């Protein structure tokens, strides 16, 4: 997708694709809502919805092209799996908190899942939503932080400090777990435990990930937040994947 479109943002999509597989494909129920707050990882969302049959193979060919519904950041009103426009960071969490409260008031058993970037923990809206979630005891809200340690212009620790620290979430009143963001079974078992928890706390899973996971020249490289692939690098990536998984 990225190579054909000559598009960037592949590093952050590879960072969270395992989380999307674990949650959106493996755990999301009919009454649940999933929000990709880190909308710059749109291709990971589109690939997952394609796997689920919501986006056709033909539509996938339009990724990033003029007139497409599959733009650089997810746009709403076309697919059920994309209920809100996301990508301007800091919005997914507040929306998810509102959805969780709605489900709680309706007593419909629905969960709200929000996948956000670690850079989004710099945003004031994140902490306003966090306090709101604690105040309303939204134990049906599960926030997953894609903690790859790299933001658009530097390392997380260099920009605003480590705003993903578990102690911060715990101090506010969240039930918090740190997990391997590339271990699908571990992510799913954490979600299952969250759902069985008897407390009234909202949940956060800090998922330790690697930007550009799976491609040697992309891993932990800030530039792959933006760069498109050349013919040579695309072929190298395909060769690496073939060697690993064939």
Using one digit for the tens of pLDDT, what is the confidence trace for 171-198?
A: 999 999 999 999 999 999 999 999 999 9
Query: Distance between CA 82 and CA 84 in Å, rounded?
Result: 6
* 220 burial type by CB count under 10 A (0-12 exposed, 13-18 middle, 19+ buried): middle
| pLDDT of residue 102 exceeding 90 | yes
Tell me how many domains the chain contains.
1
CATH of the domain at 126: 3.40.50.970
Mean pLDDT of 197-218: 96
Residue-number span of the structural domain to which 79 is assigned:
2-245
Tell me how crowded residue 192 is: count the other CB atoms within 10 A of its CB.
Answer: 10
Query: Distance between CA 54 and CA 153 in Å, rounded?
Result: 34
| pLDDT of residue 16 exceeding 90 | yes
The predicted structure's pLDDT at residue 39:
94
Mean pLDDT of 153-182: 91
Tell me how crowded residue 103 is: count the other CB atoms within 10 A of its CB.
Answer: 20
Going by their DSSP bridges, the two strands 154-155 and 150-151 should be labelled as: antiparallel
The predicted structure's pLDDT at residue 151:
84
Tabulate helix, strand, coil % of the chain (nearest 5). Answer: 45, 15, 40
The predicted structure's pLDDT at residue 174:
98
Q: Which long-range contacts (CB under 8 A, 24 or more apart) does 157-164 make?
A: 159/119, 159/122, 160/122, 163/118, 163/121, 163/122, 164/118, 164/121, 164/206
């Amino acid at each position: 997708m990225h190579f054909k479109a000559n598009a960037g943002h592949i590093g952050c999509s590879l960072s969270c694709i395992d989380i999307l597989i674990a949650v959106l494909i493996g755990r999301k129920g009919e009454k649940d809502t999933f929000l990709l707050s880190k909308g710059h990882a749109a291709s990971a969302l589109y690939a997952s919805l394609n796997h689920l049959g919501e986006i056709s193979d033909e539509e996938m060919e339009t990724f990033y092209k003029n007139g497409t519904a599959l733009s650089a950041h997810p746009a709403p009103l076309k697919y059920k799996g994309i209920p809100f426009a996301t990508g301007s960071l800091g919005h997914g969490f507040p929306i998810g908190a509102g959805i969780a409260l709605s489900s709680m008031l309706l007593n419909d058993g629905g969960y709200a899942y929000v996948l956000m970037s670690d850079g989004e923990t710099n945003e004031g809206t994140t902490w306003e939503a966090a306090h709101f979630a604690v105040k309303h005891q939204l134990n049906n809200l599960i926030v997953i932080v894609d903690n790859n340690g790299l933001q658009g212009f530097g390392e997380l620790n260099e920009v605003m400090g480590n705003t993903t620290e578990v102690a911060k979430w715990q101090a506010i009143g969240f039930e918090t777990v740190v997990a391997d963001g590339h271990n699908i079974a571990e992510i799913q078992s954490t979600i299952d435990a969250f759902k069985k928890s008897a407390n009234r706390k909202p949940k956060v899973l800090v998922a330790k990930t690697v930007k550009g996971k799976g491609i040697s020249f992309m891993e932990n490289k800030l530039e792959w937040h933006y760069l498109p692939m050349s013919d040579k690098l695309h072929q190298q990536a395909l060769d690496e994947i073939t060697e690993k998984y064939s």
